[in-house]
Amino acid sequence: MKYIIVTGGVMSGLGKGITAASIGRILKNKGFNITAIKIDPYINIDAGTMSPYQHGEVFVLKDGGEVDLDLGNYERFLDIELTREHNITTGQVYQTVIDKERRGDYLGKTVQIIPHVTNEIKERIRKVSKKSGAEICIIEVGGTVGDIESMPFLESVRQMHSEEKEEDIIFVHVTLVPLDTQGEQKTKPTQHSVKELRSLGLQPDAIVARCKEPVLLDTKSKIALFCDVPARAVVSAHDSSDIYYVPTLMEKEGLSDYLMQKLKIKEKEVSYVWDTLMKKMASIDREIRIAVVGKYAHLGDSYISINEALKHAGIECGCRVKADWLDSEEFEKNPSDIDMLRKYNGILVPGGFGVRGTEGKILAIKFARENNIPYLGLCLGMQLAVIEFARNVLGITDANSSELATTKHPVIDLLPEQGKVKNMGGTMRLGNCEAELVEGSLASKLYGSTTLMERHRHRYEVNPKYIKQIEAKGMKFTGKNEHRMEIAEIPGHKFFFSSQFHPEFKSRPGKPSPPFLAFVRAAMQ
């Protein structure tokens, strides 16, 4: 097994995740089987309880793991499916170590960071890497060098460096090259960051320098001199118009050849799939506008998978999708502003939890339905579409979800059998679940099948007591998991499709999600 450890310095948010994913992509283009691990130093067991404002989107894996959004980037860039084991947190590690201590596994020894915690970390890394069957494992260490939280993980990979063969483990350090007021590229932040890394016993093999502009040769030479790396190992990762261009940028910088030389491996075959995709993306000259009506509109990372899924569909359709993130609470404050949605080619309502902003989303759904504007609802976006239909078509004015309000007509409710559902986290339905599709429905046409497997993250379901009434008035439930409704669509509408699952999690560049692809096509018309 070959390991590439990606660390970061100077500041968070530099793009370690995109760097790790891009390194994996350029090596995959050379014919190697790649997997990835994200280390998160926070004490949470996983990302499931975090607000999107705290840590961005919670990405859901096929086994129901609620993880950091970087694993979503790994899946999209590498076209692989990961499991919860690929996200290692401080909380998981300490919980396991404490459980072992309580069982007496350490035979009365004093349990310490070294060796017990570091051994647990190394064991997890090696176990996940081996289990994946990959040849190269990319490991991103979250946080920045110098953080207290990251210390046990950095010490663990330092130990791995001495335990593995020299050609089996290398370090890539992501750092910042800022511009001063005169536009000069400054190397001191990188120098200090590498100095901090070396003080921990770690020497980078390559430095990925983040900068607004291409890093100059003189700047690279200076970094190489002061940080003791070859000049060819200093890679310019300057701002790009899109994250999907980053692997191509790194390839042009010669990073894949350098890494293969350090790892003592040779390319097996060359794939041009990614290059072809980027050329197709660069040739797009048409644009449509989509209104995404949510409540985390001020933070783009909250809906990153939706943004990427729209992009994937747009590339396939030869269209650039411009998504405007609209705060649903603004529609609640000023209902007359809802008419602004008329200028959009499509309306999308994403998932979410809690009552805040839901009435604004319902107004947006009503506007899409009544004005024949293409609509795509995801998770809560489906539940609110059912509520809106019950209120304004069936005339059940107090129809609601028991999650959101106390009502006599909970058209969305908890099901008594919920505890029997597989892949549950508490009362959540998480991860892959199969659905049976009605033959001849829009859903079956989109998927080209009468079954599908998609990822879920929700508690509440469509209440079976109201299904006959709703279907009698024109909304059809065309995807089902036993008596759980998975898809609601309105035949005759230009495009009105909503799902209880999250199709955005399985969308890939070159392999767009079927509902997103159909939504963008409808919006283009």
- What pLDDT is recorded for position 296? 77
Give me the mean pLDDT over the 435-464 stretch. Answer: 96
Percentage of the chain surpassing pLDDT 70?
Answer: 98
Active-site residue, selected from the candidate residues 66, 155, 251, 504: 504
pLDDT at 353: 87
74 to 18, 67, 132, 377, 473: CA distances (angstroms): 8, 12, 14, 25, 43
Q: 259, 277, 295: which is the final residue of a domain?
A: 277
Indicate the Cα dihedral angle 275, 12, 171, 252, nearest 10°. 20
Cα-Cα-Cα-Cα torsion 416, 419, 421, 424, nearest 10 degrees, comes to: 130
The pLDDT of residue 301 is 77
Residues 249 and 298 placed together within one structural domain of the fold? no
Kindly state whether residues 445 and 372 are assigned to the same domain: yes
The answer to whether residues 374 and 338 belong to one domain is yes
What contacts 218, CB < 8 A, 6 or more positions away? none
Q: What is the identity of the amino acid at 433?
A: C
Q: Is the distance from CB of 84 to CB of 64 less than 8 angstroms?
A: yes
- Does 306 score more than 60 pLDDT? yes
Q: Are 341 and 373 in contact (CB under 8 A)?
A: yes
CATH number of the domain encompassing residue 384: 3.40.50.880
CA 130/CA 72 separation, integer angstroms: 21
Which pLDDT does position 423 carry in this prediction? 39
Residues whose CB falls within 8 Å of the CB of residue 385, separated by 6 or more in sequence, listed in order: 349, 365, 369, 375, 377, 475, 488, 496, 498
Q: Which pLDDT belongs to residue 511? A: 96
Instruction: Please indicate, yes or no, whether residues 380 and 517 belong to a single structural domain of this protein.
Output: yes
Residue 416 banded pLDDT, cuts 50, 70, 90? confident
Same domain, 402 and 494: yes
pLDDT digit string, tens, across residues 215-224: 999 999 999 9
pLDDT band at residue 362 using 50, 70 and 90 as cut-offs: very high
The angle subtended at Cα 192 by Cα 188 and Cα 198, nearest 5°, is 145
Does residue 108 sit in the same domain as residue 62? yes
| Pairing of β 476-481 and β 484-489 | antiparallel
Residues in the chain: 525
pLDDT classification of 425: cutoffs 50, 70, 90: very low
User: pLDDT per residue over 1-13, tens digit each?
Assistant: 999 999 999 888 8
In the set 316, 379, 456, 461, the catalytic residue is 379
Do residues 180 and 51 both lie within one domain?
yes
What pLDDT is recorded for position 55? 73
> Per-residue pLDDT for 523 more than 60?
yes
- Are 227 and 82 in a shared domain? yes
Query: 504 an active-site residue?
Result: yes
Q: Are residues 193 and 339 in the same domain?
A: no
pLDDT of residue 12: 83
How far is residue 269's CA from residue 262's CA, in Å, rounded to a whole number?
19
Q: How confident is the model at residue 418 (pLDDT cuts 50, 70, 90)?
A: low
What lies within 8 Å, CB to CB, of 115 at 6+ separation is none
Sheet (strand 461-462) strand order: 400-401, 410-413, 461-462
Burial 402-436 (b: 16+ CB within 10 A, else e): ebbeebebbbbbebeeeeebebebeebbbbbbebe
Is the C-alpha dihedral spanning 508, 509, 514, 520 positive or negative?
positive
Quick: pLDDT tens for 239-264: 999 999 999 999 999 999 999 999 99
pLDDT, tens only, 92-112: 999 999 999 999 999 989 999
Domain count, the chain: 2
CB-based contacts of 16, cutoff 8 Å, min separation 6: 6, 7, 8, 70, 140, 142, 174
Mean pLDDT of 143-148: 91
Tell me, what's the pLDDT at 426?
A: 54
Q: Same domain, yes or no, for 271 and 289?
A: no
Last residue of a domain, one of 257, 277, 297: 277
Q: pLDDT (tens digit, 9 = 90+) per residue, 24-62?
A: 999 999 999 999 999 999 999 999 888 777 778 999 999
- Active site includes 379? yes
Q: Reply yes or no on whether the pLDDT at 189 is more than 50.
A: yes
Domain containing residue 338: 285-524
- Token code pair at residue 248: 């191509």
Instruction: Note the pLDDT tens digit of each residue in 154-184.
Output: 999 999 999 999 999 999 999 999 999 999 9
The residue from 277, 308, 323 where one domain ends is: 277
To the query of whether residue 502 is one of the catalytic residues in this protein, the response is yes
User: Do residues 293 and 230 both lie within one domain?
Assistant: no
* Closest CA relative to residue 173, chosen from 120, 244, 222, 228: 228
In 10 A of CB 136, how many CB atoms?
24
pLDDT at 420: 46
Q: How far apart are the first and last CA of the chain?
A: 50
Query: Alpha-carbon distance 489 to 478, whole Å?
Result: 7
478 pLDDT higher than 60? yes
DSSP 205: S
Give the C-alpha separation, 18 to 291, whole Å. 26
pTM over 0.85: yes
- Position 133: which residue type? G
Contact 311, 285 (CB under 8 A): no
**377/479 same-domain check:** yes
| Opening angle at CA 429, ends 71 and 454, nearest 5 | 60
Question: Which is the catalytic residue, given 86, 173, 312, 502?
Answer: 502
User: Which range (40-49, 343-352, 369-378) has the least confidence?
Assistant: 40-49
Instruction: Read off φ and ψ for residue 385, nearest 5 degrees.
Output: -65, -40
Q: What is the CATH number of the domain that holds 61?
A: 3.40.50.300
Mean pLDDT, the chain, integer: 94
